[in-house]
């Protein structure tokens, strides 16, 4: 059989694709004995299996023809109404018409990239930032410019405008960021809004972790600070189940019109059955009680992880203390590579994600993202000991670069 010359027919976008190193590492997750500090996986204990069983059974009995049918691209009106009610109860004044349901927030990021980015278009993001977003920006031809210190946002924007590369948007994860675990202060949020208004920029607020706060004070969403300019992306992945692949976009109607058309060619509509389940789950008032249990579980895991870090980590290592979310971010002394640490920990069946993949400029080789939501408590201490021993070994056997 003759082979096709694939390279000659691939699109330019396909040639820009970058596979996720994290997903390769996670391919090992099925190994029974693996301790994973790797993915952003919710803990399966938080999945409300019994409630979902009951809802599925009811839907199939009462409304099989609508819940198993195609649905509107905008999403199930009941679900959109439930979400709008929830935002309104939190002081964000929106209606169902301000919301489009997506096949998870990853699709929401991709649809935003699809409607905004031309080849070589600039956008501004944090340094580090979520790799799945970078993947999408790169695929659609975008050129992300990372800002390490939020105080430099304005000077970065000014420089880009002077170079004729005005950013199409600012991509931000204000609450418990992936990968850093860091939360933007009120002053930093006000600064993003100020800069966006001053230089007429759109903001994409990616908000998958916002409801998972374990300490500290809740701060306003960027959306609540500017409903015209901010596009908020939400998801059920971290608070209900990632298996549903359900997310949403809140934006002004002009933007949503474009998103809907972009979504039609992607998948026509998000899973109608899953939307019906989620709508009923919210409507029955089950979401908040499960969220409270989830927060309790993760708060305990965060405490345990931080305690173990304090107890076992070498003095030269630093890490963030997240107020919520699923991650903390660890920094080795400059010159040491987390990839070298990973080689050692994988021998001991411990996985984490080297931080470098989250840096759009290739920096961050001495950083790592550590997830604390997934591993069982008894494996957290064991995993931190393995990690600390591997770090000590790399530090003591690698020549000092400074």
Ligand X SMILES: Cc1ncc(COP(=O)(O)O)c(C=O)c1O
Q: How far apart are CA 386 and CA 374, in angstroms?
A: 17
| CA nearest neighbour of 350 among 372, 374, 383 | 383
Question: Which structure tokens are listed for 328?
Answer: 């903390």
Q: In angstroms, what is the minimal distance from the CB of 271 to ligand X?
A: 13
Interface stretch with ligand X, choices 98-106, 154-162, 186-194, 364-372 (CB under 6 A): 98-106
Q: In angstroms, what is the minimal distance from the CB of 251 to ligand X?
A: 16
Is 40 a binder of ligand X (CB under 6 A)? yes
Interface stretch with ligand X, choices 89-97, 100-108, 223-231, 314-322 (CB under 6 A): 100-108
What phi and psi, each to the nearest 5 degrees, are found at residue 123? -140, 155
Q: In angstroms, what is the minimal distance from the CB of 130 to ligand X?
A: 4
Is 235 a binder of ligand X (CB under 6 A)? yes
Q: Are strands 230-235 and 202-206 parallel, antiparallel or unpaired?
A: parallel
Q: How far apart are CA 4 and CA 89, in angstroms?
A: 57
For residues 328 and 391, which CB has a smaller minimum distance to ligand X in the complex?
328
Interface stretch with ligand X, choices 16-24, 44-52, 104-112, 154-162 (CB under 6 A): 104-112
DSSP string covering 110-126 = HHHHHHHPPTT-EEEEE
State the alpha helices, DSSP H only, in 27-130: 49-62, 64-67, 77-89, 104-116
Q: Which of 105, 156, 275, 345 binds ligand X (CB under 6 A)?
A: 105
Interface stretch with ligand X, choices 60-68, 103-111, 279-287, 301-309 (CB under 6 A): 103-111
For residues 129 and 366, which CB has a smaller minimum distance to ligand X in the complex?
129
- With contacts defined by CB under 6 A, how many residues of the chain interact with ligand X? 14
3-state class (DSSP) for residue 34: coil
Q: Which of 247, 322, 324, 383 binds ligand X (CB under 6 A)?
A: 247
Q: How far apart are CA 100 and CA 83, in angstroms?
A: 10
Q: In angstroms, what is the minimal distance from the CB of 84 to ligand X?
A: 19
Is 172 a binder of ligand X (CB under 6 A)? no
| CA nearest neighbour of 153 among 207, 195, 198, 199 | 195
For residues 167 and 234, which CB has a smaller minimum distance to ligand X in the complex?
234
Is 36 a binder of ligand X (CB under 6 A)? no
For residues 240 and 384, which CB has a smaller minimum distance to ligand X in the complex?
240
Question: For residues 190-209, which are near ligand X according to CB under 6 A?
Answer: 206, 208
Question: For residues 114-133, which are near ligand X according to CB under 6 A?
Answer: 130, 132
Q: In angstroms, what is the minimal distance from the CB of 210 to ligand X?
A: 11
**Centroid of chain to Cα 137:** 14
Q: How far apart are CA 185 and CA 150, in angstroms?
A: 10
Question: Which structure tokens are listed for 229?
Answer: 């300019």
Using the structure block, give the residue that is written with the tokens 């997934």.
Answer: 374
Is 181 a binder of ligand X (CB under 6 A)? no
Is 178 a binder of ligand X (CB under 6 A)? yes
Interface stretch with ligand X, choices 138-146, 235-243, 271-279, 386-394 (CB under 6 A): 235-243
Radius of gyration of the chain (CA): 22
Contact 224, 252 (CB under 8 A): no
Q: In angstroms, what is the minimal distance from the CB of 374 to ligand X?
A: 12
| CA nearest neighbour of 31 among 381, 379, 309, 338 | 379
Contact set with ligand X (CB under 6 A): 40, 104-106, 130, 132, 173, 178, 206, 208, 235, 237, 242, 247
């Amino acid at each position: 059989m003759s082979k096709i010359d694939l390279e000659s027919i691939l699109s330019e976008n396909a040639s820009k694709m970058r596979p996720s190193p994290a997903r390769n590492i996670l391919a090992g997750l099925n190994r029974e004995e693996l301790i994973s500090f790797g993915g952003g996986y919710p803990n399966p204990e938080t999945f409300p299996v019994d409630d979902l069983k009951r809802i599925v059974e009811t839907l199939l009995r009462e409304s099989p023809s609508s819940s198993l049918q195609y649905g509107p691209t905008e999403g199930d009106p009941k679900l959109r109404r439930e979400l709008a009610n929830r935002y309104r109860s939190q002081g964000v004044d929106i209606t169902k018409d301000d919301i489009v349901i997506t096949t998870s927030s990853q699709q929401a990021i991709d649809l935003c990239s699809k409607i905004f980015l031309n080849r070589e278009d600039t956008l501004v993001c944090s340094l580090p930032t979520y790799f799945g977003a970078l993947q999408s920006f790169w695929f659609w031809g975008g050129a992300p410019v990372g800002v390490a210190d939020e105080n430099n946002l304005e000077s970065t924007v000014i420089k880009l405008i002077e170079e004729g590369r005005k950013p199409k948007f600012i991509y931000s994860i204000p609450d418990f960021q992936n990968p850093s675990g860091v939360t933007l202060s009120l002053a930093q949020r006000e600064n993003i809004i100020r800069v966006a208004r001053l230089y007429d920029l759109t903001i994409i607020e990616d908000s998958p972790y916002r409801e998972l706060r374990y300490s500290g004070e809740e701060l306003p969403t960027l959306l609540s600070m500017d409903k015209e300019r901010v596009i908020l992306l939400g998801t059920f992945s971290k608070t209900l189940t990632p298996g549903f692949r359900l997310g949403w976009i809140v934006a002004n109607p002009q933007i949503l019109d474009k998103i809907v058309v972009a979504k039609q060619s992607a998948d026509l509509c998000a899973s109608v059955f899953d939307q019906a389940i989620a709508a009923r789950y919210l409507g029955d008032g089950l979401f908040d009680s499960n969220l409270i249990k989830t927060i309790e579980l993760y708060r305990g895991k965060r405490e345990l992880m931080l305690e173990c870090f304090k107890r076992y980590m070498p003095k030269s290592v630093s890490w963030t203390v997240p107020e919520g979310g699923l991650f903390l971010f660890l920094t080795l002394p400059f010159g040491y590579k987390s990839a070298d640490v990973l080689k050692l920990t994988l021998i001991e069946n411990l996985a984490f994600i080297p931080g470098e993949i989250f840096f759009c400029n290739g920096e961050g080789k001495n950083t790592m993202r550590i997830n604390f939501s997934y591993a069982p408590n008894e494996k957290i201490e064991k995993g931190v000991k393995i990690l600390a021993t591997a770090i000590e070994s790399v530090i003591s056997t690698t020549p000092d670069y400074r």
